């Protein structure tokens, strides 16, 4: 380790630890200290700079709190390059904040991640919500149960689990994102190892980073995670949990084979880790070869933490989902819920409960499935016909998305593709968002059809084709 680059000409205006922090940040930003490089031991640097140990400790803390360093037990402090995706992430999120409502009609939206509203009968919903208010009165608004409204838990057990669960097993949450957050706070601590699929859902990556977890990626293949890769990680690391989307994985669209699920459940038992199953879209199976069997339903050793969202497929504005935890962590998970937001909106839970009981849920899902199958088939054709020689992709057989690889004869990266498409009012999701290291996603993008009807699908893909053509290597 060369200490010379750490030399600081101290001035009197600012505390020394701030000056050291600022200097090291510059070194990291400029690449003079590499991402992941170990910073000098505290004593060594304090001697070199003729300052107290505490000054260096404060500086390293400051670096850590600003995301420029991470600490590893028994090892020291390591440099961390700031997120290069920051601008892109902001612009991507802005897109959906700024372009909304009426405005959105002028866009072709291949980036939306939730079901669209055209088939939803607001009258059914109005009916159930009034029924709830008339039945429960002010209790519908005042009652707080940590686990959630008992009626809803009963009906979830009845309609989705054939009464195989106990209703105490079910915890109602405010959507799947909250489910991931609550579980993470309950079981993941700083420096714990978490395996994720590569690529994976960026909202989950964000949460695991918040907890200070070490994120390890295992490649996705056509029938789930690459097992060799996975086992290799298990050999070298003690793992807290594995985060997985078992059906129509986001973004790849891949679905786990039964064998793979069984094998992973065995590994979970052997290596003592949890499987966090994010079952976000398994209602939309179009391919009759795909059978629905969640990790949870195959779980005999109480290894699976199951998270179900109602918001993706149903209505995002109602923010509901549920989770099922293994017995041994149930109390922690419940505490985590209380200290996250006390409980989930009671009125919404009661309304959903009636909505399911009255049969509206099933009716609605069937309508959606029918419509999305049409869009899926049409989009598959369009991509093949129009983009065929420029990209490669797999057909997921369900869900909302196609994950697409840009062929090597096209010299454009996915972040650039995002900006160029956006300028032409087409919204896509660039692959760089789905990986721990952005470089891995430069050649991928995701196209979703949840918000976009057939006539727009074709037009959008033609625009993408023009942009890709302009980048073709001749």
| 367 Cα distance to chain centroid | 27
Residues 358-417 that bind its own copies (CB under 8 A): none
125 interacts with its own copies by CB under 8 A: yes
Closest to 305 (Cα-Cα) out of 274, 331, 279, 282 = 274
166 interacts with its own copies by CB under 8 A: no
Instruction: Choose which of 91, 219, 228, 341 interacts with its own copies (CB under 8 A).
Output: 341
CB 395 within 8 A of CB 447: no
Instruction: Choose which of 19, 85, 174, 401 interacts with its own copies (CB under 8 A).
Output: 174
Instruction: Choose which of 9, 11, 100, 105 interacts with its own copies (CB under 8 A).
Output: 100
Give the interface size with its own copies as a residue count (CB under 8 A): 77
317 interacts with its own copies by CB under 8 A: yes
Nearest-angstrom CA–CA distance, 109 and 450: 9
171 interacts with its own copies by CB under 8 A: no
203 interacts with its own copies by CB under 8 A: yes
Nearest-angstrom CA–CA distance, 384 and 377: 11
Q: Residue 33 has which token pair?
A: 């200290």
Nearest-angstrom CA–CA distance, 455 and 466: 18
10 Å Cβ neighbour count for 472?
13
| Beta carbon of residue 345, minimum distance to its own copies (angstroms, whole number) | 5
Instruction: Choose which of 91, 163, 206, 292 interacts with its own copies (CB under 8 A).
Output: 206
192 interacts with its own copies by CB under 8 A: yes
Contacts of 275 (CB under 8 A, 6+ apart): 241, 242, 244, 264, 265, 268, 295, 299, 303, 304, 305
Instruction: Choose which of 47, 133, 290, 467 interacts with its own copies (CB under 8 A).
Output: 133
Residues 44-73 that bind its own copies (CB under 8 A): 53, 56-58, 60-62, 64-65, 71, 73
Residue where the block lists tokens 């709830």:
132
- Which residue lies nearer to its own copies by CB, 100 or 289? 100
Residues 257-316 that bind its own copies (CB under 8 A): 311, 315-316
Residues 449-468 that bind its own copies (CB under 8 A): none
Nearest-angstrom CA–CA distance, 459 and 462: 5
CB 128 within 8 A of CB 351: yes
| Beta carbon of residue 190, minimum distance to its own copies (angstroms, whole number) | 5
| Beta carbon of residue 130, minimum distance to its own copies (angstroms, whole number) | 7
């Amino acid at each position: 380790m060369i200490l010379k680059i750490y030399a600081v000409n101290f001035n009197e205006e600012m505390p020394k630890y701030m000056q050291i922090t600022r200097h090291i940040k510059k070194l990291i930003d400029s690449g003079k200290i590499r991402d992941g490089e170990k910073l000098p031991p505290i004593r060594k640097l304090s001697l070199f700079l003729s300052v107290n140990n505490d000054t260096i400790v404060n500086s390293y803390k400051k670096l850590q709190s600003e995301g420029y360093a991470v600490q590893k037990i028994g090892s020291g402090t390591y440099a961390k390059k700031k997120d290069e995706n920051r601008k892109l992430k902001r612009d991507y999120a802005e897109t959906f904040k700024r372009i909304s409502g009426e405005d959105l009609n002028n866009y072709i939206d291949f980036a939306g991640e939730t079901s669209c509203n055209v088939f939803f009968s607001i009258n059914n919903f109005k009916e159930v919500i009034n029924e709830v208010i008339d039945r429960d009165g002010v209790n519908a608004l005042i009652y707080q149960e940590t686990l959630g409204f008992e009626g809803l838990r009963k009906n979830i057990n009845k309609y989705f689990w054939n009464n195989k669960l106990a209703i105490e097993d079910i915890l109602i949450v405010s959507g799947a994102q909250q489910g991931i957050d609550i579980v993470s706070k309950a079981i993941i601590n700083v420096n714990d190892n978490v395996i994720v699929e590569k690529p994976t859902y960026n909202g989950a990556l964000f949460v695991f980073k918040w907890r200070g977890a070490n994120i390890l990626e295992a490649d996705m293949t056509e029938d789930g995670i690459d097992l060799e890769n996975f086992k290799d990680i298990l050999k070298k690391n003690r793992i807290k949990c594995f985060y997985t989307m078992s059906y129509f994985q986001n973004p790849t669209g891949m679905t786990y084979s039964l064998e793979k699920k069984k094998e992973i459940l065995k590994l979970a038992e052997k290596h003592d880790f949890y499987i966090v199953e994010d079952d976000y879209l398994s209602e939309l199976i179009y391919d009759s070869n795909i059978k629905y069997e969640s990790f949870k339903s195959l779980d005999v050793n109480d290894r699976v933490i199951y998270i179900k969202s109602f918001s993706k497929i149903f209505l995002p504005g109602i923010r509901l989902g549920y989770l099922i935890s293994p017995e041994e962590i149930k109390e922690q998970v419940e505490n985590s819920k209380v200290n996250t937001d006390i409980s989930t909106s009671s009125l919404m839970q009661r309304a959903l409960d009636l909505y399911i009981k009255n049969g509206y849920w099933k009716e609605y899902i069937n309508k959606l499935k029918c419509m999305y199958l049409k869009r899926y088939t049409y989009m598959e054709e369009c991509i093949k016909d129009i983009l065929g020689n420029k990209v490669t992709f797999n057909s997921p057989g369900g869900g909302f998305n196609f994950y697409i690889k840009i062929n090597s004869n096209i010299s454009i990266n996915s972040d650039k593709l995002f900006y160029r498409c956006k300028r032409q009012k087409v919204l896509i999701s660039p692959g760089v968002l789905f990986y721990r290291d952005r470089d891995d996603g430069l050649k991928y993008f995701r196209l979703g059809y949840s918000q976009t009807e057939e006539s727009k699908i074709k037009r959008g893909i033609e625009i993408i084709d023009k942009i890709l053509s302009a980048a073709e290597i001749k």
